[in-house]
Amino acid sequence: MSKRTVIFDLDGTLADTSGDLIAAANACFRVLGHGDLLDPVADAATAFRGGRAMLRLGFTRLGAGKGVEVEAEVDREFPNLLAAYEADIDRHTVLYPGCVAAVERLRGAGYAVGICTNKPEGLAETLMTRLGVRDLFASLVGADTLPTRKPDPAPYVAAVERAGGVVSRSVLIGDTETDRNTSRAVGVPSVLVTFGPDGRGVEALAPEALLDHYDDLDWVVRGLIG
């Protein structure tokens, strides 16, 4: 029988990385003389949408202009943001309550588990290693592992196959519209967590299931893929 597989998003799903992401963006703005333009609490949802989204928000607040001008600033600063983030990647980041125990239970029940994230692969590997949980996951596919990223289906398919599973018996655990669109593109069920900045607002994305706490992951997964 083909191995059932659970694939997790990283930022906003396995770990609250927003504090370190916001700090990296603000480091860029400070170097430019603008001070801290982003708030670690109010702008947490933007952090989970990626580095470019954070930079875009900050430059828009500055009134840097629209369209090409803002995007040019974003393109210029993005490498600096990545460097700042890598230098201090786990100062504020914490795993969500119960996630390690939940992953261990899945493994013990015979499920394969992996990660599919839009964080660059090297940064994801570094973060999961520093958090002490990299060995729990049989695969890790990042934004630059393949030529495409989520919501393109290829990274998800690769994450499943590298974990030793098959796509038809897999499920995606995520927290954003990108994850929901990925599951639709692949044709697999999605579970969206409600403990991120969007809370139960993710219900509007019509996932196959919602997850309020990792204590409930086992029965949610069983209900979707057996």
pLDDT tens, residue order, the chain (226 aa): 568 999 999 999 999 999 999 999 999 999 999 999 999 999 999 999 899 999 999 999 988 655 558 999 999 999 999 999 999 999 999 999 999 999 999 999 999 999 999 999 999 999 999 999 999 999 999 999 999 999 999 999 999 999 999 999 999 999 999 999 999 999 999 999 999 888 999 999 999 999 999 999 999 999 999 9
**Residue 66: per-residue pLDDT:** 57
57 and 97, same domain (yes or no): no
Whether 23 and 11 map to the same domain: the answer is no
Given 66, 87, 108, which residue is the final one in a domain?
87
Distance from C-alpha of 107 to C-alpha of 139, rounded to nearest angstrom: 13
Same domain, 53 and 106: no
* Burial of 135: CB neighbours in 10 Å, binned 0-12, 13-18, 19+: exposed
Pairwise CA distance, residues 164 & 112, whole Å: 7
**Same structural domain for residues 109 and 142?**
yes
Range of the domain at 160: 5-16+93-225
Judge if 185 and 121 occupy the same domain.
Answer: yes
Domain boundary among 60, 87, 114: 87
Task: Round to whole Å and give the CA distance between 157 and 178.
Answer: 15
Beta carbons within 10 angstroms of residue 42's beta carbon? 10
Residues 11 and 65 in one domain: no
- Residue 216 and residue 156 share a domain: yes
Q: What is the pLDDT of residue 162?
A: 97
125 and 195 fall within a common domain: yes
CA distance 204 to 220: 18
**Residue 150: other Cβ atoms inside 10 A:** 25
Same structural domain, 145 and 71: no
CATH number of 207's domain: 3.40.50.1000
Instruction: Report, as residue numbers or ranges, the catalytic residues.
Output: 9
Say if residue 82 is in the same domain as residue 129: no
At 65 the pLDDT is 58
Residues 9 and 22 placed together within one structural domain of the fold: no
Provide the token pair at 9.
Answer: 């998003």
Q: Are 114 and 79 found together in one domain? A: no
Of 68, 87, 106, the last residue of a domain is: 87
Query: Using CA atoms, how far apart are residues 216 and 101, in angstroms rounded to an integer?
Result: 11
Q: In total, how many domains does the chain have?
A: 2
